[in-house]
Amino acid sequence: MVQNKDSTFVLVHGAWHGGWCWKKLAPLLRAAGHTVYTPTLTGLGERAHLLSPQIGLNTHIADITAVLEFENLRNIFLVGHSYAGMVITGVAEVAAQRLSHLIFLDAFVPLDGQSLLDTRPDRGAPVRKFAGEAGDGWKVPIVNATFGVTDAADVAWMSARMTPQPLRTFEEPVRLTNPAAHALPRSYILCRQNEPTLFDSHAQRVKSERWGYFELLTGHDAMITAPKELADILLKIATD
């Protein structure tokens, strides 16, 4: 197979993370000849000073759409990790003409009118309760979560960089009305270790819809725990 050497990847991080989380993965894609962008969503990572109750899913959709527009990017492989499955779904609705492929990395895949919390079996009651108790009612702190990362150095590195997530990002729904977005090629990468996860139901659904489908035997934060294996899958998707 011949690799397309001029592909552009835009990697969108999940909740509580930032563009920093792609530090191990991005160089591997660049070394293979691709252009890579790793934006940080408003209110998170190095943009945590902008955190406010007004930040919602639509803010983050606008963040990524702006990157595509201001950088004049086209034929994009848009990758969304975890929460960012919501984000890239929304970006496709408003910028389908700039996209080549949507890639959901252990991510939420909403139906029309769903918020992230709507996709959960518990409808997000524990998340809202935690925000009320520990986040002034509008943000969700991160406490003792390693997202499947087991290496002590990696855990220390990521723990020092994770920041609270605005609750509104989990509560705003996404509307799916654009036929051009619906027609985009899509792939799903499921990260699994031994136990069922929140993402198994999403994986089963997209398999039934005949998306491209891959599995990684690693934790949820595959870009940290298995960057080489993840890069291989992304490069395979970009090969044609």
Q: Which residues are catalytic?
A: 82
Give the Cα separation of 7 and 234 in Å (integer).
11
Q: Dihedral of the CA atoms 186, 172, 71, 20 (nearest 10)?
A: -90
Q: Dihedral of the CA atoms 61, 64, 66, 69 (nearest 10)?
A: -120
Count of alpha carbons within 13 angstroms of residue 174, beta-carbon side: 31
CB of 212 within 8 A of CB of 186?
yes
Give the Cα separation of 121 and 68 in Å (integer).
34
Residues 6 or more apart whose Cβ sits within 8 Å of residue 99: 75, 76, 78, 91, 92, 184
CB of 80 within 8 A of CB of 50?
no
Give the Cα separation of 51 and 194 in Å (integer).
35
Give the Cα separation of 117 and 171 in Å (integer).
6
